Amino acid sequence: MNDLIDRRLLDFLLYDWLDAESLTRRPRFAEHLRGTFDSAIEAAATLADHEFATHNRLSDLNEPRFDGVRVQLIPEIKRALDAFVASGFMAAAADAEHGGLQLPVLIEKACFAHFNAANVATAAYAMLTIGNANLLLAHGTRRQIDAFARPELEGRFFGTMCLSEPQAGSSLSDIRTRAIPVGADFEQCALGPRYRLSGTKMWISGGEHEMSDNIVHLVLAKIPEADGALPVGVKAISLFIVPRVLVNDDGSLGERNDIALAGLNHKMGYRGTVNTLLNFGEGKFRPQGGAGAIGYRVGASGQGLAIMFHMMNEARIGVGLGATMLGYAGYRQSLDYARQRPQGRSMGTGGKDATQPQVPIIAHADIRRMLLAQKAYAEGALALNLYCARLMDDEKTAASEEGRRRATLLLDMLTPIAKSWPSQWCLEANNLAIQILGGYGYTRDFPVEQYWRDNRLNMIHEGTHGIQALDLLGRKVVMRNGAGLALLGTTIGATISHALAAQHPDTRRFGVVLMGAVDRIAHASKRLWSLDNPEATLAHATPFLQAFGHVVLAWIWLDLSLAASRSDIADDDAFLHGIRHACRYFFVYELPQVAVWLGPAEAGDATLLDTRDAWL
């Protein structure tokens, strides 16, 4: 197995399905051609194979350690990231004026998928830095962009996001990190209103290392009231740039900021990504002669969480892509193994003939079931992620304002699915990959067990599975009086209309089935919100998320099947037959689960609310 991603699959998704080439007709991408897109993808594939994949196991076996002075990582991680930066990928989608290649996000994500497939832990440093820089480009001042975002895009600085705290977890309204204005003229600082921060941040990926000249922490904190008390609620949260090393007015590096490593978290997966507990304002360092980490506010006070969602939503899609590629990598490994591993014999009318040679295990129906499931999960998730990337391009560059608004609304609806669905079902793909390899699957002689361990983190990364469910049912479904849900329904409806007019009877049948599933989602959401009890409604959020996600993926697969059927499929075109067969599998084996997940919601079942602590 040489290719990290089947190039025929990627070309089909990009050009036959998403019409990536049409983006070159937009002013922002006018300097590009399909040839430049292909060149970028080929460069990413080569770099990922040569520099990232080569230390994936090594970084898993040699996790970061603290020697009492600094965090030690294997040198191959920095070498890979240096090559990533030198090839222009840190700024692949950034504006040319910021040194970027100004590629469409769609192509940038297609490139980044290779790095995730090769080594998701090393790729995480780049994902966080790109997201950090993009937030500052969108919400920072010119001086903040020049001092922090530009060096990130140049690969000189790396970035993090510092949200959670030990006592708060995902409940950000309960954070205790405080930010005190520095002097009466704190608003006049060239780099933004200046504060001193104190507090502890937990689970900070990329929080301490020596791979870059600086680390730019984006930190959520609260500004105390006049009496020193912290205000309550998320609307009291502000966002601050807190660099590891202060930046002077001329852009040179100054003294060390008051940020100290309090400990490393030792994880089951993503072991090459250092994960830290950081103390801000501990007093170990005294920048500008005082205690407290110096930070510069981004945007208005009290708007921190709203601004941070710019990076959080980008990271959620990024986590979904990482989960997708781990599932895909395991699928490719188990498919290769199943084709080569002889075991057992085919069953004939008289039973098995022991005198006959063994057959490759792919000849067994149950192995094909597990491979089909992996294909449906991983390739479907990749299609969904690339579809969302195309929406990210459309919300900025579509020709009409209406087209841009439509893309933004649809992206809002799909983001919880783009994060949660791959995190759950591509993890299941990794589980099936281990099963196909049997005893070899749970040994370190094969990579599939590491893929599972890496991927298990993604249902927790960037908002847990339950939080994505609450976001979908509690916010996205009802936002703007259901406008997002209606738009998604209309978009899926267009695919259904094409399916109902198709020549192939299976395609027409799947269109009818999908129509019923969409109606059932709409009915379930109305039923749940008719309960007049938000707690009772949201108790069903996770099953609703799972049902919603499967309906979205059924739509994706039906649309892919239609794209594969735009011309007659030759008998020997295994790829296009594979697309249509994966669609068939999803509708026959996966979509029926929607009824099971929605059943308790439609009945208004109260089992979860009625459960008492003492009964567990």
User: If you write DSSP's letter for every residue of 175-204 in order, what string do you get?
Assistant: ---EEEE-STTGGG-TTSSEEEEEEEEEEE
CB burial of residue 186 (10 Å; 0-12, 13-18, 19+) = middle
Report helix, strand or coil for 255.
strand
- The partner residues of 194 in beta bridges, in order of sequence, read 296
CATH architecture label of 7-153: Orthogonal Bundle (1.10)
Q: How large is the average pLDDT for residues 479-498?
A: 97
- Tell me the average pLDDT of the chain: 96
Q: For the chain, which residues make up each domain, given as ranges?
A: 7-153, 158-302, 303-344+358-463, 464-616
The model's pTM? 0.97
Higher-pLDDT residue of 197 and 357 is: 197
Confidence of residue 297 (pLDDT cuts 50, 70, 90): very high
In percent, how much of the chain has pLDDT > 70? 100
User: Residue 392 has which token pair?
Assistant: 């990210």
Q: What tokens were used for 414?
A: 């799909």
Look at 36-40, 165-169, 370-374, 547-551 and tell me which has the smallest mean pLDDT: 165-169
Q: Assign domain 158-302 to a CATH class.
A: mainly beta
> Which residues lie closer than 8 Å to 561 by C-beta, 6 or more apart?
507, 510, 579, 580, 583
Give residue-wise pLDDT tens across range 123-136.
Answer: 999 999 999 999 99
Query: What does the alpha-carbon distance between residue 6 and residue 11 come to, in Å, rounded to a whole number?
Result: 9
pLDDT digits (tens, 9 = 90+) for 460-486: 999 999 999 999 999 999 999 999 999
Question: Is the separation of the CB atoms in 206 and 278 below 8 Å?
Answer: no
Q: Cα separation of 412 and 479, whole Å?
A: 10
Which residue reads 């267009």 in tokens? 494
The token pair at 44 is 């990413």
Instruction: Compute the distance between CA of residue 319 and CA of residue 311 in angstroms, rounded to an integer.
Output: 12
Please write the tens of the pLDDT for every residue from 136-155: 999 999 999 999 999 999 99
- Model pLDDT, residue 1: 46
The b-or-e profile of 542-559 (16+ CB within 10 A means b, else e) is bbbbbbbbbbbbbbbbbb
Amino acid at 464: T
- 420-457 pLDDT, tens digit per residue, is 999 999 999 999 999 999 999 999 999 999 999 999 99
Q: Quick one: pLDDT band at residue 568, thresholds 50, 70, 90?
A: confident
Give yes or no for residue 383 having a pLDDT over 50.
yes
DSSP string covering 336-366: HHHHH-B-S---BTTB--TTSPP-BGGGSHH
Identify which of 134, 140, 141, 181 has the alpha carbon closest to the alpha carbon of residue 159. 134
Query: Quick one: pLDDT band at residue 2, thresholds 50, 70, 90?
Result: low
For residue range 159-203, list pLDDT tens digits in order. 999 999 999 988 999 999 999 999 899 999 999 999 999 999 999
Which H or E element spans position 71? strand 71-72
- What's the burial of 442, exposed, middle or buried (CB within 10 Å: 0-12/13-18/19+)? middle
The Cβ of residue 83 has, within 10 Å, a number of other Cβ atoms equal to: 15
The residues, ordered by sequence, that sit 6+ positions from 147 with a Cβ below 8 Å of its Cβ are: 191, 247, 251
CA angle 193, 197, 203 (to 5 degrees): 120
Class of domain 303-344+358-463: mainly alpha
pLDDT at residue 569 greater than cutoff 80 = no
